[in-house]
Structure 1
Amino acid sequence: MFFISEVEDYVRVDPRDLKEKTIEEAIKNALLKQYEGKINKQLGWVLSILDILDKSEGYLGYNDGGIYYKVRFKVLTWKPILKEVTLGIISNIVDFGAYVNIGPTDGLIHISQIMDDIVDYSKDKVLAGRKTKKILKIEDIVKAKIVGISIKPIGTKINLTMRQAGLGKLQWLYEEKAQSE
């Protein structure tokens, strides 16, 4: 889920940045380096610094030429929520499941969580149900539910399922709806 949050933190501005930029531009540049594209356990994925709301007077650090500012700013973040239903695009298929791009990262649907059928993997990166003959391939759009989240510095894991009513490849869902009408 996407969020706009207010954050307060100290940021170090390199004095060389102040030669070509205003203080606000230099602070925003320093915040971009410190936050953007990084994963924060509380915030999730920091996608963008939106606005600087307030800043303190700068002070020099001891044995450091940098200028430090206490800054309050707005960020756009994305954080997965347990039991959240999300749309995604299959980005890779492996013998144990499918990776789904769900925004700034990929989640994994284990082969046992793709459908209520035995699923076989083929070398041409396709997963197919034995009885249903349903096929899942790269670039398919799916609707999945987040069932597990692990955000750690060494790696983030998001586990997904499509084995519940209303979940699955969008084409399957459209076909089911058309059959029921």
Structure 2
Amino acid sequence: MYKKMKLADTIRVAPNLLGGDVEQNVKAALKEKLEGRIDKNIGAIVAVTKIDTIGEGHILVGDGAVYYDVKFDSIVFVPTIQEVIEGEIVETVDFGAFVSIGAMDGLLHVSQITDDFMSYDGKNGRLTSKTGGRSLSEGDKIRTRIVAVSINEREPRESKIGLTMRQHSLGKMEWLEEARRPKSDQEE
């Protein structure tokens, strides 16, 4: 889920950025420091949108930079357990599919795709069901539910988001559309 948050931080503005507009330089330093960072309590910081207040600058002995206490607005992505979210499959592997769900990727394990047994077709790069004639491949749009979240601040690539499609109204968008059509339309 995307949220707008008011945050506060102390930001270092390097000496080469001290000329010109202070607010513009502070915003540039904030974007460089925070955008793309993952925090366990906040989530993934997607964008710094607006500076609210900039405190008085402080200079530390031996450092030519100026440090400012800043309050600002930002957009963050917070994966929440039980949240239903739409995404796109970015990679299929023998144990499941990686799904882009916004600012992060989640793992849809093969056991969480359908009730039918799914196997990996490495030659075509897709997951196929044994009896249902269904498949998932890169680029497919899906609706899924977040069932597990483990955020690793130090190594964001090690963060894990578990997904499932084994519940009502979840699955590949084409499957959901087929289920929504009346039976007479499906027979044609």
**TM-score, length basis structure 1:** 0.95
Alignment partner of 1:16: what SS? Answer: helix
Report the more deviating stretch, 37-46 or 106-115.
Answer: 37-46
**Does 2:150 match 1:150?**
yes
**Equivalent AA in structure 1 for residue 55 of structure 2:** S
Alignment partner of 2:25: what SS? Answer: helix
When the two structures are aligned, how many residues end up with a matched partner? 180
Shift of 1:62: 2.2
Shift of 1:15: 2.1
**TM-score, length basis structure 2:** 0.92
Name 1:175's counterpart in structure 2: 178
Name 1:131's counterpart in structure 2: 131
**Equivalent AA in structure 2 for residue 25 of structure 1:** Q
| Deviation readout 1:109-128 (Å, 9 max, x if unpaired) | 00000001011111111111
Name 1:161's counterpart in structure 2: 164
- Residue identity over aligned pairs, in percent, reads 37
Q: What pairs up with 1:8-157 in 2 under 5 angstroms? A: 8-19=8-19, 21-123=20-122, 124-152=124-152, 153-154=154-155, 155-157=158-160
**Quick one: distance in 2 between partners of 1:80 and 1:59?**
36
| Deviation readout 1:89-147 (Å, 9 max, x if unpaired) | 11110000011111112111000000010111111111111121111111111000000
- Compared with structure 1, are the counterparts of its residues 96 and 179 closer, same or farther at alpha carbon in structure 2 (3 Å cutoff)? farther
**Quick one: distance in 1 between partners of 2:164 and 2:87?**
12
Alignment partner of 2:27: what SS? Answer: helix
Shift of 1:69: 0.8
Which runs of 5 or more residues in structure 1 are unaligned?
Answer: none
**Quick one: distance in 2 between partners of 1:89 and 1:55?**
39
- Compared with structure 1, are the counterparts of its residues 121 and 108 closer, same or farther at alpha carbon in structure 2 (3 Å cutoff)? same
Higher strand share: 1
Alignment partner of 2:169: what SS? Answer: coil
| Deviation readout 1:23-65 (Å, 9 max, x if unpaired) | 1111111111110111111221111111110111111112211
